[in-house]
Amino acid sequence: MKVLFLSNRVPFPPNDGGTVGVYQALMGLVDLGIDVTFFSLNPSRNKVDLKNALELEKIPHKEIYNIQTDITPWGALKNLLQNKSYHISRFYNKNIADKLAALLQKNRYDIIHFDGLQITIYLDIVRRYSQAKCVMRAANVEHKIWEGLAEHSANIFKKWYLKTAAQQLKKYELETIKHLDGLITVSIEDAAYFKQSGFDKEIHIAYTGFDITKLPPHTKVENCIYHIGAMDWMPNIEGLRWFMKEVWPLVHQKKSKLVLHLAGKNMEQEFYQYNNLNVNNHGQVQDALEFVSDKSTLIVPLFSGSGMRVKTVEAMAMGKTIIGTKMAAQGLPEEVKEYMIIVKTAKEFAEKIIYYANHTHEAHTLGQEAKLYAATHFEVKQIAESVVKYYNTVDSR
């Protein structure tokens, strides 16, 4: 089987939920021995120095192109007036489209894998030059993220803009899926939504998995809390902003020795202003797994989003205590909630953090149960094998 794997980002290093998802989807196929060609954008907002992406050497066939994707007021206004989704259009480049067309004319593929909605901006090019089956892996229902952000925004103008952007994105997203031969989601909820929205073919659910044997040893330090994620993703910004204003001061007041570690790329300056509350902000870290290895408790303060929470699964696989809003379990099987602490209010969030900091044996037991569950439900090889099996069942147009 020959697979052309199209991506809007280079997932090296896999340091946040988005890159981990792409990385595991891609390398899962490579490790199975599938003949994979990796064709990727290298966007300016998340540009990767390819010299440091050593794992790319495992992929014999690859083409990676830099692209300017920075958001500008003029670009946003232009797309608003044209009623186009700026979330999608800024990933299109004519020269890259020509490179893709040339690749398709030289090679015959069985599957064209679109990893994410943004890269489907090149779907017309693929259809023009290839007879391969087109499958998209949707890490989220993209427009639902923006609907959630609009709902929680207090600024009237911002709320209006986010709502309009969500509507434009929804129109594109639901129209695009009609032109695919197959669809992979990372959650049951997203699969159900796409079915209800008109996708009439089989949808495969493939959670983001992990190779448990490659995770670093868990050298847990008690009373050590952490949050890690892409801090240019609006749900993370809004959630952490709420946590720092409403939850952490309550924790620090009652248990001042607790330390909170923050990490993530493109960290807003506002999150560096809490040193007096025992907060250590690391910004972007080179090795996310090394960063989390000696931390005991993951916090997940999210109020919007879609797909699945990759960092939640990673924390489960490493035996961490997980405390978060209901979105912490988003997209995961219902029984996963048994292995984490779900809270509804800032007061409850603070109380649970303090409780498990004081009752470390209970926290450890919960973490070990979570680790066992993850090992049997989120193993990357099994998930990759299920994807290949799905590829073989997909009918082309």
Q: Considering the chain, what percentage of its residues have pLDDT values greater than 90?
A: 74
**Torsion, Cα of 284, 289, 294, 296 (10° steps):** 90
| pLDDT tens readout for residues 61-117 | 999 999 999 989 888 888 888 889 999 999 999 999 999 999 999 999 999 999 999
**Predicted confidence (pLDDT) per residue in 328-373, tens digit:** 998 888 999 999 999 999 999 999 999 999 999 999 999 999 999 9
The yes-or-no answer to whether 2-209+379-393 and 212-377 have a common fold is yes
What does the pLDDT read at residue 110? Answer: 97
Nearest Cα to Cα of residue 238 among 301, 183, 187: 301
Chain position carrying tokens 């946040």: 16
Residue 210's beta-bridge partner residues? Answer: 379
For 179, residues 6+ apart whose C-beta sits below 8 A from its C-beta are 123, 127, 134
In words, the CATH class of domain 212-377 is alpha beta
Q: Measuring CA to CA, how many Å separate 332 from each of 24, 176, 178, 377?
A: 17, 25, 25, 10
Whether the per-residue pLDDT at 220 is higher than 70: the answer is no
Helix (H) / strand (E) element for 390: namely helix 380-393
Decide yes or no: CATH 3.30.70.640 for domain 2-209+379-393: no
The per-residue pLDDT for 43 is 96
What is the mean predicted confidence (pLDDT) over 200-206? 96
Q: Quick one: average pLDDT of 16-32?
A: 92
Phi, psi of 228 (to 5 degrees): -140, 140
218 pLDDT tier (thresholds 50, 70, 90): low
Domain boundaries, the chain: 2-209+379-393, 212-377
- 257-301 pLDDT per residue, tens: 999 999 999 999 999 999 889 999 999 998 899 999 999 999 999
CA distance 192 to 195: 5
| pLDDT for the residue 352 | 98
Return the number of other C-beta atoms located less than 10 Å from residue 217's C-beta: 8
How many other CB atoms are found less than 10 A from the CB of residue 256? 10
Give me the chain's average pLDDT, please.
93
At 149, is the pLDDT very low, low, confident or very high (cuts 50, 70, 90)?
confident
CA distance 283 to 228: 9
Q: How far apart are CA 274 and CA 278, in angstroms?
A: 7
Rounded distance between C-alpha atoms, residue 136 and residue 206, angstroms: 12
Respond yes or no on whether the N-terminal peptide bond of residue 13 is cis (omega within 30° of 0): yes
Q: Is the pLDDT of residue 17 over 90?
A: no
pLDDT class of 214 with cuts at 50, 70, 90: confident
In this structure, of 141-150, 246-255, 353-362, the range with the lowest mean pLDDT score is 141-150
Angle between helices 17-31 and 380-393 (to 10 degrees): 70
